[in-house]
Amino acid sequence: MEHENTSGMDLWVQEIYHGDFGMKFRAVRTLFSGQSPFQRVDIIETAGHGRMLLNDGKIMLTERDEFVYHEMMAHVPLYTHPCPERVLIIGGGDGGTAREVLRHKGVKRCVLVEIDKLVVEACKEHLPRIGAWDDPRLDVKIEDGIAFARNTDEMFDVVLVDSTDPVGPATVLFSREFYRDVARVLAPDGILVAQAESPFFDQDIQREMFQNQRPFFSRLHLYLISNLSYPGGLWSLSFASKGLCPLTDARLPDARNDGLATRYYNTQIHRGAFLLPAFAKDGLLGAADSVDWPAGA
Ligand code: AG3
């Protein structure tokens, strides 16, 4: 993140991605800046996008568009699994993914394992509308998600990896060893959804991710979201299961009947998100599976 004072009046916050691309947002003031053992954490009041959370200068969310990523990370797997009761979130210390998970009445327990206490504390104070911290079904653990997945005896129906980019401490969240441990804590009809970077910038990372997931899951898909705050706007999530198909097994009637007041997720987007533009699909070089819908496409 850089603060740039161009005209003496204008303050901008910008993220530079891979050295040759950037996005900037007009800022009003810094609400919080801190350094943890893991990363730098900033919360900025922007002029047009509400409050913004950055980890090591990378935009994690803005209040204006966080619903896109959080709804799609939670509702796609939770409306695919037949009866999701136990959900594990690794990362996600801002609480947004947990908030969407907990909108499902059938969820009995949601464990959120965030390595960085500073993220949780700063978000509770300066982004209080993002999380659903008071829900009694939520169990927040400040510890290393890698170690948690390796050591826990608990089993889960859905695991959500709400991570930063695969640099620094988050690199291991994209590794084969970690996915092995995730597969171990997932019940037989379990689903893993993980933050999967940008189809425009990161197809090498996406291929490696799927190659690392492949030994433990029979079905791997990429699905897309479109937001304002992640580099380039087009972003993706990976879906891995031991058999469940996000299209044919989706509980779309339930999604309709529950009538959650979502702002991005709906039953058409649930399916449509898995249809990939040719470059996004071809660049995976077969590392993920194709979906079978619509017929003939
Ligand atoms: N997880 C981060 C998505 C990756 C964003 N990357 C970037 N800006 N370079 C978001 C955390 C929200 N719960």
Domain boundary pick from 43, 62, 81: 62
Ligand 1: list residues with CB < 6 Å: 15, 17, 58-61, 69, 92, 94, 96-97, 162, 164-165, 195, 230-231
Task: Report the distance separating Cα 23 and Cα 26, nearest Å.
Answer: 10
pLDDT tens-digit map of 6-18: 555 689 999 999 9
Tokens of 202: 């990161």
pLDDT of residue 295: 52
Residue with CA at minimum distance from ligand 1 atom 11: 60
pLDDT tens-digit map of 151-191: 999 999 999 999 999 998 789 999 999 999 999 999 999 99
Cα–ligand 1 centroid distance for 231 (angstroms): 9
Examine the domain organization and report whether 260 and 235 are in the same domain.
Answer: yes
Contacts of 59 (CB under 8 A, 6+ apart): 15, 23, 52, 53, 229, 230
pLDDT of residue 1: 59
Examine the domain organization and report whether 47 and 120 are in the same domain.
Answer: no
Counting ligand 1 atoms within 8 A of each CB, the residue from 44, 62, 165 with the most, and so the one to mutate, is 165
Tell which atom from ligand 1 comes closest to the C-alpha of 230.
8
Q: Which residue has the tokens 């993914």?
A: 97
* C-alpha closest to that of 82 among 157, 27, 172, 175: 157
CATH number of the domain to which 26 belongs: 2.30.140.10
CATH number of the domain to which 202 belongs: 3.40.50.150
Cα–ligand 1 centroid distance for 114 (angstroms): 14
In a domain, 297, yes or no: no
Examine the domain organization and report whether 136 and 103 are in the same domain.
Answer: yes
Tokens of 148: 């948690």
Name the active-site residue from 162, 165, 202, 289. Answer: 162
Tell which atom from ligand 1 comes closest to the C-alpha of 58.
8
pLDDT of residue 297: 45
Tell which atom from ligand 1 comes closest to the C-alpha of 162.
1
State the total domains in the chain.
Answer: 2
pLDDT of residue 293: 66
Helices marked H in the chain: 66-78, 96-101, 117-126, 145-151, 176-185, 203-213, 252-258, 267-272, 278-282
Task: Report the distance separating Cα 53 and Cα 130, nearest Å.
Answer: 11
Task: Report the distance separating Cα 236 and Cα 224, nearest Å.
Answer: 4
Q: Which residues of 129-163 are buried (b: 16+ CB within 10 A; e: fewer)?
A: ebbbeebebbebeeebbbebbeebeeebbbbbbbb
154: helix, coil or strand? coil
In a domain, 105, yes or no: yes
Task: Report the distance separating Cα 43 and Cα 45, nearest Å.
Answer: 7
In a domain, 103, yes or no: yes
Q: Which H or E run contains 106?
A: none
In a domain, 92, yes or no: yes
Asked if 86 contacts 154 with a C-beta cutoff of 8 angstroms, the reply is yes
Examine the domain organization and report whether 24 and 119 are in the same domain.
Answer: no
Domain boundary pick from 26, 47, 62: 62
CA angle 276, 277, 278 (to 5 degrees): 110
Q: Examine the residue annotation and report whether 65 is marked as an active-site residue of this protein.
A: no
For residue 195, what are the domain limits? 66-283
Tokens of 288: 């993920």
Examine the domain organization and report whether 269 and 167 are in the same domain.
Answer: yes
Examine the domain organization and report whether 167 and 42 are in the same domain.
Answer: no
Examine the domain organization and report whether 230 and 97 are in the same domain.
Answer: yes
In a domain, 244, yes or no: yes
Question: Which parts of the chain have pLDDT scores under 70?
Answer: 1-9, 293-297
Asked if 250 contacts 292 with a C-beta cutoff of 8 angstroms, the reply is no
pLDDT of residue 10: 86
Cα–ligand 1 centroid distance for 213 (angstroms): 20
Residue with CA at minimum distance from ligand 1 atom 8: 59
Examine the domain organization and report whether 130 and 89 are in the same domain.
Answer: yes
The reported pTM is 0.96
Domain boundary pick from 19, 42, 62: 62
Examine the domain organization and report whether 29 and 174 are in the same domain.
Answer: no
How many residues in total does the chain contain? 297
- What Å distances lie between residue 20 and 56, 169, 197, 206, CA to CA? 17, 23, 16, 20
Cα–ligand 1 centroid distance for 195 (angstroms): 8
Cα–ligand 1 centroid distance for 154 (angstroms): 27
